[in-house]
Amino acid sequence: MQPPMPGPRVGARCQAVLGGATVALVAFVLVLSALVGFLLVLSARAPHAIPGIAVAPAPAAIPGVPATVAMAVQATLQAQPDARGSTPIVAGASVSNPTSLLDETFTTAPRGWPNEPQGIAWFADGAYRLEPREAGQFIALNAPLADVWKDVVVSARFRKTGGPSGGGYGLVVADQGPDRHDGVNQGGRFVTLEAGDQGTIGAWQREDDRWVDLQPWTPNPAVHEGTAVNELIVRVQGQQLTFLVNGTQVAQVTTTLAAGLVGVFVGGDGNQVALERFTVQSAPATSPSSSRSQATATLHP
């Protein structure tokens, strides 16, 4: 038998090669795993806030709504202007949103208002009609509200439909009663702020059987004369009354009367008037007269 040839055997050489490849593969797997873990950590982190740049949060998942739809809704909401900067605020008004206490458009016969065609107040042709039937008498008519608010805004849209020139119409506030004004009652204590069909404005306080001037009849260009429509607003803030005609402040008076009922007024023998809208608004926190909350409102077209 011949002796073996000098040098390493073939089996030992293969084992060395395989061992080196295994070590290299294990090292590669370890490096790859570390890299993948590092990338996962980075992706899980929230983006850093940069001063002056807002980072939009991811849209919350909504059951049954695809993610693309949720993202579109989120983008739409973010595109909306800030309500605090886009909503106009009436000068001197409360920042609180107004709450409607009464909004009567008189498109149908109104509930709670007198409706007698042969009387002093009735519904006809899409408006509430008012006409003093007896010489020397006026119409003071309370709105169908049982509660009394300290701070409130009353609005109405009037137009003269007939009768001699010189009549007036307006709003009743701070009505103390003692009896409810039904259009016939001529007594009581209340304040009326009026516009006249000759382009004038005025304000008076009723003291049982006499009138006290708060603002005598005064010409004012804000008033539309004759049979044109006039929109009247009275803002009651405690005992201070602010009177607006067609969006223009025309008077501000102070009364000695406390909070009371509200309503409408028509004066002048044979003065025929149509009331097309009547609204009462107050701030959300306002409650009946035991509360002392702020209030505001505007007349909507």
Architecture of domain 100-282: Sandwich (2.60)
- The Cα 251–Cα 234 span in angstroms is 10
Strands 240-245, 139-142: pairing is unpaired
- Asked whether the predicted pLDDT for residue 39 surpasses 90, the reply is no
Q: Which residue would you say has higher pLDDT here, 144 or 285?
A: 144
- Asked whether the predicted pLDDT for residue 53 surpasses 70, the reply is no
Each residue of 155-192: pLDDT tens digit?
999 999 999 999 999 999 999 999 999 999 999 999 99
The DSSP-derived string for the chain is -PPPPSS--HHHHHHHHHHHHHHHHHHHHHHHHHHHHHHHHHHHSPPPPBTTBPPPPPPPP-TTS-HHHHHHHHHHHHHSPPHHHHS---TT--SSPPEEEEEE--SSPPTTS---TTSSEEEETTEEEE---STT--EEEE-S--S--SEEEEEEEEEEEES-TT-EEEEEEEEEESSPPBSS---SEEEEEEEETTTEEEEEEEETTEEEEEEEEEE-TTSPPTTS-EEEEEEEETTEEEEEETTEEEEEEE-S--S-EEEEEEESTT-EEEEEEEEEEE-TT--STT-----------
Q: Which of 63-72, 96-105, 187-196 has the lowest mean pLDDT?
A: 63-72
Each residue of 213-262: pLDDT tens digit?
999 999 999 999 999 999 999 999 999 999 999 999 999 999 999 999 99
Q: Which of 105-114, 141-150, 262-271 has the lowest mean pLDDT?
A: 141-150
Q: Which residue would you say has higher pLDDT here, 131 or 296?
A: 131
